[in-house]
């Protein structure tokens, strides 16, 4: 197991050009791997598909829906009571139901997650074309990072692993990337 420097590209052609440039920078073909990383949740890691049995995002949505639904229901009931002379005795019930649905939607949309980019980490690996270089020394690491920066690679990271025959054998798409300090 050795050190790997990797960068993400949004387009295949950019990754291909970066691969050619890395090879021109003196890295051997056996040190380089290019592959596509699927979006989070689409790595087919479980028997039923997806990455995990449980959706972590659903926890936030459930809390938001509960809060929003209750608030929306109360507001809807008040509005329903105010419109009772026009709609009739079912106005508070209809108002509460409509308010609860609107509150559910607002509650589920209000839950946001910090993507961690300011602290130098990402909570998940973003999708795109990955170019990975096995670096045998600190000198090679610095050269790989320099070339990836020049080529405007996204999410340049440092990892441990093995690249053999053009394949990053122990790559884990669920492992959050450890970003290289870009300052």
Of 12-26, 46-60, 134-148, which gets the smallest average pLDDT?
Answer: 46-60
Give the whole-number percent of the chain exceeding pLDDT 90. 40
- Residue 36 bridge partners (DSSP): 129
Q: Is 117 part of any domain?
A: no
Q: Is 176 part of any domain?
A: no
Q: Is 115 part of any domain?
A: no
| Alpha-carbon gap, residue 38 to 82, rounded angstroms | 51
The helix (H) or strand (E) run that includes residue 144 is helix 138-150
Q: Is 179 part of any domain?
A: no
Give how far the C-alpha of residue 171 lies from the chain's centroid of Cα atoms, to the nearest Å: 16
- Token look-up 């990455």 returns 51
- Token look-up 């989070």 returns 40
Q: What is the pLDDT of residue 60?
A: 52
Domain range for 104: 58-110
Are 27 and 42 spatial neighbours (Cβ–Cβ below 8 Å)?
Answer: no
Are 5 and 133 spatial neighbours (Cβ–Cβ below 8 Å)?
Answer: yes
Averaged over 70-84, what is the pLDDT?
Answer: 72
**pLDDT tens readout for residues 89-103:** 777 777 777 777 776
Q: Is 99 part of any domain?
A: yes
| Alpha-carbon gap, residue 97 to 24, rounded angstroms | 65
| Alpha-carbon gap, residue 22 to 31, rounded angstroms | 10
**pLDDT tens readout for residues 50-61:** 545 555 555 555
Q: What is the pLDDT of residue 51?
A: 47
Q: 133 and 159: one domain?
A: yes
Averaged over 135-163, what is the pLDDT?
Answer: 93
Q: What is the pLDDT of residue 118?
A: 47
CATH code of residue 16: 3.30.70.2190
Number of domains in the chain: 2
């Amino acid at each position: 197991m050795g050190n790997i420097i990797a960068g993400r590209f949004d387009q295949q052609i950019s990754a291909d050009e970066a691969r050619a440039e890395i090879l021109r920078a003196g890295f051997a073909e056996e040190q380089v791997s290019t592959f596509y990383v699927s979006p989070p949740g689409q790595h087919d890691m479980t028997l039923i598909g997806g990455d995990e049995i449980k959706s972590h995002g659903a926890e936030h949505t459930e809390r938001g829906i509960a809060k929003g639904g209750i608030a929306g229901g109360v507001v809807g009931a008040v509005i329903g009571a105010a419109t009772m002379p026009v709609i009739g005795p079912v106005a508070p019930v209809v108002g509460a139901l409509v308010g609860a649905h609107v509150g559910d939607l607002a509650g589920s949309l209000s839950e946001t997650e910090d993507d961690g980019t300011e602290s130098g980490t990402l909570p998940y690996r973003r999708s795109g074309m990955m170019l990975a270089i096995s670096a045998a020394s600190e000198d090679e690491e610095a050269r790989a990072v320099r070339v990836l920066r020049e080529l405007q690679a996204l999410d340049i990271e440092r990892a441990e692993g093995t690249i053999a025959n053009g394949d990053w054998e122990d790559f884990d798409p669920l492992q959050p990337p450890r970003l290289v300090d870009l300052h």
